[in-house]
């Protein structure tokens, strides 16, 4: 997005500010879909950025939902139940029943434990009118998520015996930011072997929901093979090479959403201490998240927006006499951890200028310490060439969530 457009957004909506470019989001979704090929479906993990859910419900094949809050977002947006993939390691009985009463057998559900399976079995027995529930037992990758091979196989066998249950597929996800294609190839080979075991026990598994953990290259001089066209094609080839020939859906969040996002924060102070140039901004690490970043040690993609009204005029003056310096960019929190860039060389930085952190469409607005120090939540905006700017959330005070509620 051009500097002048971002400058105008900051002027209109203030800072800190999130900007999500819907055109970039759609382009990225189409790029990844093309890279995987037509035989692989796409699932959007809405935890990456729930603000984008309404659009991704149109552009992806389904939406992964991991909490009751996420489910209620989808229900309010009127996302068709057929589009929902109900996941999550923690499922309460009452929550499952609320979702089942709304979706029935129209969506698919993951099973992360024998208890989860029992919840669905009980419902199917009590509500035969709902038809057959489509379940995806989750195979663990050695952590709290899912179940071991023997338990998954046992649940697959039990599902065959129940008229109201179908184990349509299995679910697998082992982590995020997998930069090397070899990780995908190794995991898909392992899943192929497991599905072969299932077939040997007369268990027909038709579908695989694979959380690929495709990486995003957040930092300068850092690459991510799985994000590039060759990596996408490599995953497609690995799927085609499996002996098992069911349908594969690749589950993505970060890789779909990251590139569309911009985080704008204003410089409020600059100083030099012990030879280090410090820049203090009105945002901070509670609103900005790059997976793998540690106290600003890696350099993200950052633009400087001068404080002049006209960016074109500013660029002229910037080229003339504004000094280039190496800065330590720090946020507004009272913690030594609030370092956005430990060392970054920038030109034209002074009080009133705006820093634009790029590739922030995934997790930045979701994973930060939003309530720390009771700072405001930033406004959130959408942009597209077709519809222009749209404010979708105003700045919100948070102090009231950190004190007694007078209404109680």
Q: How far is residue 139's CA from residue 146's CA, in Å, rounded to a whole number?
A: 5
**3-class DSSP state of 59:** helix
pLDDT beyond 80 at 357 = yes
Report the pLDDT averaged over residues 366-384: 81
Model pTM score: 0.92
pLDDT beyond 90 at 292 = no
| Residue 388, CA distances (Å) to 9, 209, 315, 391 in order | 11, 36, 24, 10
Residue range(s) of every CATH 3.20.20.10 domain in the chain? 22-258
Q: How much is the pLDDT for 101?
A: 97
Residue range(s) of every CATH 2.40.37.10 domain in the chain? 3-17+259-387
Q: How much is the pLDDT for 315?
A: 53
pLDDT beyond 50 at 196 = yes
Q: Which pLDDT band, with edges at 50, 70 and 90, does 321 fall under?
A: very low
Strand partners, 345: 326
Q: What is the tens place of the pLDDT at every residue in 201-244?
A: 999 999 999 999 999 999 998 999 999 999 999 999 999 999 99
Q: How far is residue 62's CA from residue 108's CA, in Å, rounded to a whole number?
A: 10
Q: How much is the pLDDT for 116?
A: 98
Cβ neighbors of 194 (< 8 A, separation 6 or more) are: 139, 149, 152, 170
Q: How much is the pLDDT for 367?
A: 75
* Contact of 347 with 305, CB cutoff 8 Å: no
CATH of domain 3-17+259-387: 2.40.37.10
Q: What is the tens place of the pLDDT at every residue in 85-112?
A: 999 999 999 999 999 999 999 999 999 9
Q: How much is the pLDDT for 307?
A: 80
Pick the CATH number of 22-258 from 3.20.20.80, 3.30.70.330, 3.90.1150.10, 3.20.20.10: 3.20.20.10
Q: What is the DSSP letter of 300?
A: B
Q: What is the tens place of the pLDDT at every residue in 128-158?
A: 999 999 999 999 999 999 999 999 999 999 9
β 84-86/108-111 pair status? parallel
Cβ neighbors of 300 (< 8 A, separation 6 or more) are: 218, 219, 220, 290, 293, 341, 357, 358, 359
């Amino acid at each position: 997005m051009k500097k002048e457009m971002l400058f105008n957004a900051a002027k209109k909506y203030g800072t800190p500010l999130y900007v999500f470019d819907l055109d970039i989001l759609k382009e990225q979704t189409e790029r990844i879909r093309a890279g995987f090929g037509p035989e692989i479906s796409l699932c959007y993990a809405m935890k990456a950025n729930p603000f984008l859910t309404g659009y991704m419900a149109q552009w992806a094949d389904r939406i992964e939902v991991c909490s009751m809050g996420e489910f209620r977002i989808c229900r309010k947006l009127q996302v068709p139940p057929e589009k929902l993939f109900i996941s999550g390691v923690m499922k309460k009985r009452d929550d499952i029943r609320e979702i089942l009463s709304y979706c029935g057998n129209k969506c698919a559900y993951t099973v992360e434990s024998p208890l989860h399976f029992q919840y669905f079995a009980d419902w199917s027995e009590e509500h035969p009118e709902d038809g057959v529930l489509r379940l995806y037992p989750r195979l663990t990758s050695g952590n709290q998520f899912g179940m071991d091979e023997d338990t998954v196989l046992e649940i697959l066998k039990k599902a065959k015996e129940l008229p109201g249950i179908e184990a349509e597929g299995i679910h697998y996800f082992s982590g995020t930011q997998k930069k090397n294609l070899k990780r995908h190839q190794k995991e898909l080979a392992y899943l192929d072997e497991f599905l072969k075991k299932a077939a040997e026990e007369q268990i027909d598994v038709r579908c695989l929901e694979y959380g690929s953990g495709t990486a995003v290259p957040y930092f300068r001089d850092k690459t991510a093979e799985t994000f590039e066209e060759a990596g996408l094609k490599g995953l497609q080839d690995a799927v085609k090479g499996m002996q098992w020939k069911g349908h594969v859906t690749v589950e993505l969040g970060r890789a779909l959403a990251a590139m569309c996002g911009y985080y704008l924060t204003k410089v409020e102070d600059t100083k030099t201490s012990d030879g280090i140039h410090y820049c203090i901004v009105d945002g901070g690490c509670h609103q900005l998240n790059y997976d793998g970043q540690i106290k600003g040690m890696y350099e993200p993609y950052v633009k400087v927006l001068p404080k002049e009204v006209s960016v074109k005029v500013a660029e002229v003056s910037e080229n003339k006499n504004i000094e280039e310096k190496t800065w330590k960019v720090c946020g507004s929190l009272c913690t030594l951890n609030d370092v956005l860039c430990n060392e970054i060389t920038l030109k034209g930085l002074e009080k009133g200028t705006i820093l634009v952190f790029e590739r922030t469409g995934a997790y930045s607005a979701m994973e930060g310490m939003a309530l720390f120090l009771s700072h405001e939540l930033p406004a959130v905006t959408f942009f597209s060439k077709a519809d222009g700017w749209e404010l979708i959330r105003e700045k919100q005070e948070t102090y009231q969530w950190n004190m007694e509620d007078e209404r109680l």
